[in-house]
Amino acid sequence: LNTAPLVSKETGRNYSNIQNDYKILSRVVTKMRVNGVIPFAWITDNERDFKRNRGFANVDHYLEFELKRIFDRYKRDLFSTQERYIAIVFEKWTIQSILDNVMMEYPMPVLYCKGGSGIDSRYVLLGDWHRNGRKPITLLFLSDLDPAGYRIQDTFAGSLEKDFYKNPHTLYSLSDADLDNMKNYRIGITPDQVKKHRLVTSYEAKKTDPEYDSYIARFNLKKGEAKAYELESMPPEILESEIFLV
């Protein structure tokens, strides 16, 4: 079942995963927001940050601002007594608000990797791990169900080993035991979730991806028939429930 909306009724062509269709969709969504069809608050652009850089009109204004948020940021570290250090690594910023809801109940570190982890993000994660007792590491991955999404999970531990294994230049050096005890789990999207929730897609896995062959071999698929499922194909309430099942 192809649920992608039509680009053209005349040709019957659906939106596809190409740059020109991204631009068309962006223009359509912009008009829908301007005309009140989609509330502005439903979509955020965190890569174009607006900073007010203003002070306070007076001391009373400042005191009011501080008193409104005093003592409202306390959270008990529910994972401090756990045997393992647990963190979520996620590919898409679009699910940040879903993770925020989950973290309200189960606060844990989350790392946005934007398709791949840079050295800074890995360094920050290991810094938090070091400060919290250097416990055995468990990483939970949320990414698209496609060759690139699986590459994130497959290579993340390897990238930690490459840059931090017995590294004498940092306190966050990983030992043999750290690597042996590290566990990785994929919590979304999985093939089982596709079947369970009857997810649909109009996208094919990219044949040009260097991991395409290993991807179709992993799931015993035929070339040219491998589908790709984006994280957004899972409704927010379902994705949230799947995270809570972990």
pLDDT, one tens digit for every residue, the chain (246 residues): 445 566 666 667 777 767 888 888 889 889 998 899 988 877 777 667 677 788 888 999 999 988 988 887 777 888 888 899 999 999 988 888 889 888 888 889 999 988 777 888 899 999 999 999 999 999 999 999 999 888 888 888 889 999 999 999 999 999 999 999 999 999 989 999 999 999 988 788 888 888 899 889 988 888 878 889 999 889 889 999 998 887
The 3-class SS string of the chain reads: CCCCCEEECCCCEECCCCHHHHHHHHHHHHHHHHCCCCCHHHCCCCCCCCCCCCCCCCHHHHHHHHHHHCCCCCCCCCCCCCCCEEEEEECCHHHHHHHHHHHHHCCCCEEECCCCCCHHHHHHHHHHHHHCCCCCEEEEEECCECHHHHHHHHHHHHHHHHHHECCCCCCCCECHHHHHCCEEEEEECCHHHHHHCCCCCCCECCCCCCCHHHHHHHCCCCCCCCECECHHHCCHHHHHHHHHCC
Please say whether the beta carbons of 112 and 90 come within 8 A: yes
- pLDDT at 136 (0 to 100): 97
- pLDDT at 72 (0 to 100): 79
- pLDDT at 113 (0 to 100): 86
Give the global pTM.
0.78
